[in-house]
Amino acid sequence: MTHLNEKLGQITDYINKMVTEHTSVGLSVAIVKDDDIIYSKGFGLSRLQPNRLIDGDTMMSIQSISKNFAALSIMQLVEEGRISLDEPIVEHLPYFCTMDKEQSDLITIRHILSHTSGFPSDLGIANMIAPNVKEIFSDTPTEFQEALDEYKLTEEEINRIKSREDVTRWFEKVELAYPVGMGWDYCTDAYVILADLIEKVTGESWEDFLAEKILIPLDMNRTTADAIAVQKDENSASYYLGDDQVETPFPINAISAPIGYLYSTANDLARYLRFHLNKDQKVLRAELVGEMQRPVHQVSEEWRFGSEERSYGLAWFTDTYKGVKVVEHGGGQMAVRSLMTMVPELGLGVVVLLNFDGSLHHEICDKVLDVFIGE
C-alpha cells in the first residue's frame, strides 16, 4: 500500500505542476487498478465566474468516447443474436446507400464500427446539424458559410435533418474514398447510422437502450445524452478556449449523440473501464469484449506513441507503449478533451477529462502509464 501511495503521489505532484504551468481552468482524473478505482481527483476549476472546483463527479462532454458506447450497444445486439457484425447494413436499413450502391450494399456493421467502410473522413454532416452551429462558427460573419462550403453542404440541407434516419438517408450523396474494407478513414458521421440501426432493430431510442443495458447495470448514474440536464447540474463543466479562456458554446447535438455528444464523469468512465478490463460479463460476454479490442486495420493518422502498430478495432484504438499493449479512445472539440486508456496486461485504466484545449490529457495519461510500467 505504501508503494502504491508513492506512485499516486508522484502522479498528483506531476498533475499539479502541469496544471500550474498550462491552465487555470480544470481537469479530472481517475485510475482503475484491477477491480478497484484507486484514484479520483479534480484539479482546477469546472467553471469560471463564479469559480467552481472540478472533481471526479463533474459532468463533462466526452466527445468521441461516445462512439465506444454506441459500439458496445451494437455488440449487445450481436450477443442477443439480433444482428451479426458481418451483415450488410442494408439488411436492417434498406434505405441506406451511397453514390455507388453496388459498393455500399457491401458495407457491413463491422466496416462502420472499424472505420473501414470506404467513407471519407471529412463529411461534416453530423456535427453541422448541431442546434448551436452558427454560434460555434461566429468568429467572422462568413465563418459559418465557409464551413458549409468546406463540407459541400447547404444550410437548407442541414435544416432538413430531423432524425438519425435522415442522416442515414443523407449518405446517398457520399462518394466512397476507397473500396469497401480496403482502407481506413475515421468517419465520425457514420456512427449515427449505427444508432439508427439500433433503433430500428430494438424499436426504442438508443438513449433508452443505453441507459437500460449499459449505464444502469454499470452504476453510471452521471452519464447521459441529456444536454439540458447536464447544463442545469451544479457540478458540470463549462469549456474555455485559448490563453484568454474564452468560454465556448456548450457541446450539444442530440441527433449526433453517438458520435460525440454524451456527457460523463471521470468516476463513471472509470467504472466503464473496470468492466472492459475485467470482462466480468455484466453487460457483455467476455469474448465479445475481447472482439472489440482486437485490431481490424492499421490507422492512417499520426501515431500517438510513435510506434507503427497503432490500429483500430471496434471503437478502440490499439497500440504498443514501452512494450505493453494499450487500448484507448479519446475525443476532442474546441475546448473539450477526453481520453480513456487501458493497459490490460497491468489491469490498469486511466481517464483524463479537460475543459480546455491542448494535449495535456495525453501527457497526464502517459505519466500514469510510466509510473505503473515502472519507468
Q: Which three cell numbers stand for residue 171?
A: 449518405
Q: Which three cell numbers stand for residue 350?
A: 486511466
| 190 within 8 A of 115, measured Cβ to Cβ | yes
CA geometry: angle 170, 172, 178, nearest 5 deg: 115
Q: What are the tens digits of pLDDT across the range 97-115?
A: 999 999 999 999 999 999 9
Q: Which three cell numbers stand for residue 289?
A: 469484449
Q: What are the tens digits of pLDDT across the range 282-323?
A: 899 999 999 999 999 999 666 778 777 899 999 999 999 999
Q: What is the pLDDT of residue 374?
A: 82
- What are the respective helix, strand and coil percentages of the chain, to the nearest 5? 40, 20, 40
Beta strands in 127-266 (DSSP E): 240-241, 246-247, 263-264
> CA 323, CA 360: separation in Å to the nearest integer?
23
Q: What are the tens digits of pLDDT across the range 319-359?
A: 999 999 999 999 999 999 999 999 999 999 999 999 999 99
Closest listed residue to residue 264, CA positions, set 57, 55, 115, 31: 57
Local structure of 39: helix, strand or coil: strand
| Average pLDDT of the residues of the chain | 95
> CA 206, CA 195: separation in Å to the nearest integer?
6
Q: Which three cell numbers stand for residue 166?
A: 435522415
| 199 within 8 A of 207, measured Cβ to Cβ | no
Q: What is the pLDDT of residue 301?
A: 66
| 239 within 8 A of 247, measured Cβ to Cβ | yes
Chain centre to alpha carbon of residue 54: 21
235 burial type by CB count under 10 A (0-12 exposed, 13-18 middle, 19+ buried): middle
Q: What are the tens digits of pLDDT across the range 240-259?
A: 998 889 999 999 999 999 99
